[in-house]
Chains A and B, each alone.
Chain A
Amino acid sequence: MKLHVLSVLVEDKPGVLARVSSMFARRGFNIHSLAVGPAAEPGNSVMTVVVNAAEIEQVVKQLRKLINTIKITELDPAESVEREVMLVRVSADAAKRGEVLDAAGVFKAKAVDVGAMSITFEMTGTPSKVNDFLELMRPYGLIDVVKSGWIALSRDSKTRNLRAIS
């Protein structure tokens, strides 16, 4: 099994997300993360779907078959920019506060809320870097974690356009 990052251009119509997730459930495909937002062209949306699969071809073909799907691109990590946003609240009383802030500084995580017993950080970076930061914070005590899911864009035109796959 391997993570594949798909950038899926879809028509922005009611229920498109349900169609995608229903198809994944029905076909037994594994979604690692999914993020949706408006596309550059009005009327369309872009989904960044990260799929955990041994073979991606069947996933792409089934996605392609949905009537509202316009275009699917598999993003090669070496040729694309991948980002994730995380908000994490870490346990830190006055005694630990300095140490936690120092560690976060190394990762350029931003403290967005400081309380008597905890600090909330905003961390943006590649999914692996975000994960590394989370692991660094874990020993201090994680109170809450929320992640945006991956979003990704190709660096240039060197992506594999999977519309042509037959």
Chain B
Amino acid sequence: MKITVAEALIKALEFEGVEVMFGHPGGAILPAYDPLYDSPIRHILARHEQGAGHMAEGYAQATGKVGVAIATSGPGATNLITSLANAYMDSTPMVAITGQVPTYAIGNDAFQEAHTWGISMPATKHNYLVTDAADIPDVIHEAFQLAATGRPGPILIDLPKNILNTEIEWHEPTGKVDLPGYKPNTKGHPLQIRAAADLILAAERPVLYAGGGIIAAGAHAELLELAEKANLPVTTTLMARGAFPDSHPLSLGMPGMHGTYAAITAMQKSDLLIAVGARFDDRVTGDPDAFAPNAKVIHVDIDSSEIGKVRIAEVPIVGDARTVLGQLNDKLDRTLDGSAAPDHADWLETIRGWQRDKAVHYQQDPAGPIKPQFVVEELYRITGGNAIVVAGVGQHQMWASQLWKFTRPRTWINSGGLGTMGYAIPAAIGAKVGMPDQLVYAIDGDGSFQMTQQELTTAATHGVPVKIAVLNNNNLGMVRQWQTLFYRERYSGSELSPTTPDFVKLAEAMGCAGLRAEHPSEVGPVIEKSLTINDRPVVAEFKVDPDEMVFPMVPAGGSNDNVALSLEDLQ
């Protein structure tokens, strides 16, 4: 049967089980949109390609499936780049399909031509410019395999318009991936597993340092088993919130720049860090030379280049987090042979002391202004924590991560590595499309919100009833916080407007419900009200105190020995 490459593309996507694509059409990709019209694949028309990309990421983060974005050549493709870079940093499985000018026009500065393959190369795990029409079914299959296996990541496929229009003989993807150099190692080396088990049983002050790899690998059950078996306190990075229940007595919360005092300090004092699917990011380590100076390191990662990149590991283990933790649990069972592992009672008691005395805190004056942390806590209380929480980037993101008690993986969706403001609205839409039966509540800042607010229209017109709490402090809050602390309160370029936009009117104009709370007593009722509106998206604006700052804080590049719990600690 002869069909066009465009038709083959859509068939190949159906073959991969794609149920939804987020995109925006344009000249070069039009041939692919025609067969899409007849396909069961749902198309969500984003109002900007960056939004389409973040929707695909939010969908992937919420469901664990590969997210798919589609855009045209030139500006369509360049607008996708931020989302690709974001997905690359956060190891999110994603396939992006872009149109390209015809092969005979490539290099001639044709209308809407950009060198998408070159531009996207450092922002993707791998990318393709398809110049042989017959390749398409196998290229699509290869792309999905690469996106989802090993360390997941974004893959881009650039399709020239004349290739899309070429007729080929359709064949189902052979299912074979011909990549002689791509063989992710999933199983840990037995000798390394034994060395790791020995270190764990000998440690006096161990900390289990869980990263986003736990969620990517679906290793949360194995993580819990290991922590309980060996009495290991667990810290979950910004990308791993929900990988270990915050309600668990062994939970330390988040590490790093705005982590809990207990998590930061436990790592500093530790004699053994067991890092699993984590990459010793600078926001976790602070000054790497001063980080956890007395700790030996067991480092488990599927990407061998992460091991030894920042911190030398005494026991490096290349493998899939779930497989390796399973091996480690078995090894510990065999070694312990019924006897109990060290209980680390003194260590855990020391940690509990820090948790008691140095907890994250804030004060809500009943007379106002509304504290942003109070909004997060009220949201948690009123929803019972039963929501997928999505954040933008900035202060609101840190408060959401600090104060929400996550208990399940894939219920916290944010931009961790790249720090992409504007992530919340489109990522929430993607999450809600993937998980329509779950409450998806974005917690956003007014600065982040305004970067991608046009996607409210997407949510309203496609019937995707996300809810968005805007913590409006009229400022780029995290920038303002740094200016307060390190730039003598010179608020250069960080003030937004106290009146503009009118978030309620904006929401309504875009087909959403708009709500507002200006006084602490209104916070609860506004949240309650937001939960009753399910026929359209809801934007709930909370006018919050612009002077509130995120603490604890370790200033950038500083030693994690110096955790500031309040402004006074920094002065």
Known contacts A65-B303, A67-B179, A166-B189; decide if A58 and B121 are in contact (CB<8 Å).
Answer: no
Find chain B residues with CB under 8 A from A70 CB: 180-181
- Whether a CB of chain B sits under 8 angstroms from the CB of A148 is no
Interface contact B121-A18, CB-CB below 8 Å: yes
CB distance from B408 to the nearest CB of A (A): 31
The interface bits of chain B over 114-131 (1 if a CB of A lies within 8 angstroms of the residue's CB, else 0) are 000110011001100101
Q: Is B146 an interface residue, CB under 8 A from the partner?
A: yes
- A165 — nearest CB in chain B belongs to which residue? B304
Chain B residues near A19: list those with CB within 8 A.
Answer: 121
Q: Which of B126-150 contact A (CB under 8 A)?
A: 126, 129, 131, 146
CB contacts (< 8 Å) of B317 on chain A: these are 166
**Which chain A positions have C-beta within 8 A of B318?**
166
A62 to B126, CA, bound (A): 13
Whether B146 contacts A67 by the Cβ 8 Å rule is yes
Interface residues of B in 84-125 (CB under 8 A from A): 117-118, 121-122, 125
- Smallest CB separation, B77 vs chain A (Å): 16
CA distance A15 to B115 in the complex (A): 13
Interface residues on A, range: 20 to 34
A64 within 8 Å of B (CB atoms)? yes
Q: How far is the CA of A95 from the CA of B307 in the complex (A)?
A: 62
Contact B304 A67 (CB under 8 A): no
**Which residue of chain A has its CB nearest to the CB of B122?**
A26
Chain B, range 269-314, C-beta contacts under 8 Å to A: 303-305, 307-309
List, in ascending order, chain B residues with CB within 8 A of A67's CB. 125-126, 146, 179, 181-182
Decide if B154 is an interface residue (CB 8 Å cutoff). Answer: no
Whether B555 is near chain A, meaning CB under 8 Å from some CB there, is no
Q: How far, in whole Å, are A23 and B125 apart by their CA atoms in the complex?
A: 11
A132 within 8 A of B: no
Q: A18-B118, A22-B122, A67-B146 are in contact. Are A166 and B181 (CB under 8 A)?
A: no
A18 to B122, CA, bound (A): 11
Contact B305 A64 (CB under 8 A): yes
Q: Does B316 contact A (CB under 8 A)?
A: yes
Contacts of A124 in B (CB 8 A): none
Q: Establish whether residues B307 and A166, one from each chain, have CB atoms under 8 Å apart when the complex forms.
A: yes
Measured in the bound complex, the distance between the Cα atoms of B309 and A19 in whole Å is 20
Q: Is the CB of B181 within 8 A of A68?
A: yes
Flag if B180 contacts A11 (CB, 8 Å).
Answer: yes
The answer for the CA separation of A75 and B24 in the assembled complex, in Å, is 49
User: A58: which B residues are within 8 A, CB to CB?
Assistant: 305, 308-309
Closest CB in chain B relative to A16 CB, distance in Å: 10
**Nearest Cβ in chain B — how far from A84, in angstroms?**
27
Distance in angstroms from B314 CB to nearest chain A CB is 13
Is the beta-carbon distance between A61 and B304 smaller than 8 angstroms? yes
The CA of A19 and the CA of B185, in the complex, are separated in Å by 22
Q: Is A57 an interface residue (CB 8 A)?
A: yes
Cβ contact within 8 Å between A61 and B305: yes
Q: Which B residue sits closest to A44, measured CB to CB? A: B180
Give the interface residue-count category, chain B. Answer: 20 to 34
| Contacting pair A71 B122 (CB below 8 A) | no
Give every chain A residue within 8 A of B182 (Cβ-Cβ).
67
A92 shortest CB reach to chain B, Å: 43
Q: Judge whether A65 and B305 touch: CB under 8 Å.
A: yes
Q: How far in angstroms is the closest Cβ of chain A from B545?
A: 41
CB distance from A44 to the nearest CB of B (A): 8
A68 to B126, CA, bound (A): 9
Q: How far does the alpha carbon of A65 sit from the alpha carbon of B317 in the complex, in Å?
A: 16
B122 touches A69 (CB 8 A): no
Check A166/B316 contact, CB under 8 A, given A65-B305, A67-B146: yes
Shortest distance between the CB of B328 and any CB in chain A (Å)? 16
B181, A71: Cβ atoms under 8 Å?
yes
Q: CA of A70 to CA of B179 in the docked complex: distance in angstroms?
A: 9
Q: Which of A65, A66, A69 has the most CB of B within 10 A?
A: A65
A15 to chain B, nearest CB (A): 7
Residue of B nearest to A55 (CB): B308
Chain B residue numbers with a CB within 8 Å of A62 are: 305
A30-46 contact mask (Cβ, 8 Å, vs B): 1 or 0: 00000000000000000
With contact pairs A61-B304, A166-B318 given, residues A11 and B181 touching in the complex (Cβ less than 8 Å): yes
Residue of A nearest to B180 (CB): A70
List, in ascending order, chain A residues with CB within 8 A of B305's CB. 58, 61-62, 64-65
A22 touches B181 (CB 8 A): no
In the bound complex, CA of A69 to CA of B309 (Å):
20
Q: Which residues of A contact B303 (CB under 8 A)?
A: 65
Give the shortest distance, in Å, between B436 (CB) and chain A (any CB): 34
**Which residues on the B side are within 8 Å of A165 (C-beta)?**
304
Q: Which residues of A contact B192 (CB under 8 A)?
A: 166
Chain B proximity of A25: nearest CB distance (Å): 8
A29 CB, min distance to chain B CBs, angstroms: 12
List residues of chain A with CB within 8 A of the CB of B179.
67-68
A26–B305 alpha-carbon span in the complex (Å): 15
Minimum Cβ distance to chain B for residue A26 (Å): 5
Q: How far is the CA of A71 from the CA of B179 in the complex (A)?
A: 12
CB distance from B312 to the nearest CB of A (A): 10
Bound together, the chains give a CA A64 to CA B129 distance in angstroms of: 22
Q: Which of A22, A64, A71 contacts B304 (CB 8 A)?
A: A64
B 150-181 binary contact with A (CB < 8 Å = 1; else 0): 00000000000000000000000000000111
**Cα(A22)–Cα(B118), bound, Å:** 9
Q: Which residue of B lies closest to A23 (CB)?
A: B122
Contacts of B181 in A (CB 8 A): 10-11, 66-71
If A18-B118, A68-B181 touch, does A57 touch B308 (CB 8 Å cutoff)?
Answer: yes
B480-523 interface bits toward A, Cβ cutoff 8 Å, 1 = contact, 0 = none: 00000000000000000000000000000000000000000000
> CB-nearest residue of chain A relative to B142?
A67
Across the two chains, which residue of chain B brings its CB closest to A57?
B308
B70-89 vs A: 1/0 string, CB under 8 Å?
Answer: 00000000000000000000
| Cα–Cα, bound, A68→B318 (Å) | 20
Q: Mark B187-214, 1 if CB is under 8 A from A, else 0.
A: 0010010000000000000000000000
Given contacts A58-B308, A65-B303, could you give 14 more A-B pairs where the C-beta distance is less than 8 Å?
A15-B117, A18-B118, A23-B122, A26-B122, A57-B308, A64-B304, A64-B305, A65-B304, A68-B181, A70-B181, A166-B189, A166-B192, A166-B316, A166-B318
Q: Which 6 residue pairs across A and B have the least CB separation, nearest first?
A: A61-B305, A70-B181, A166-B318, A67-B126, A69-B181, A26-B122
Q: List 27 A-B contacts (CB under 8 A).
A: A10-B181, A14-B129, A15-B121, A15-B129, A22-B121, A22-B122, A23-B122, A26-B122, A57-B308, A58-B305, A58-B308, A58-B309, A64-B305, A65-B303, A66-B181, A67-B125, A67-B126, A67-B146, A67-B179, A67-B181, A68-B181, A70-B181, A165-B304, A166-B185, A166-B192, A166-B307, A166-B316
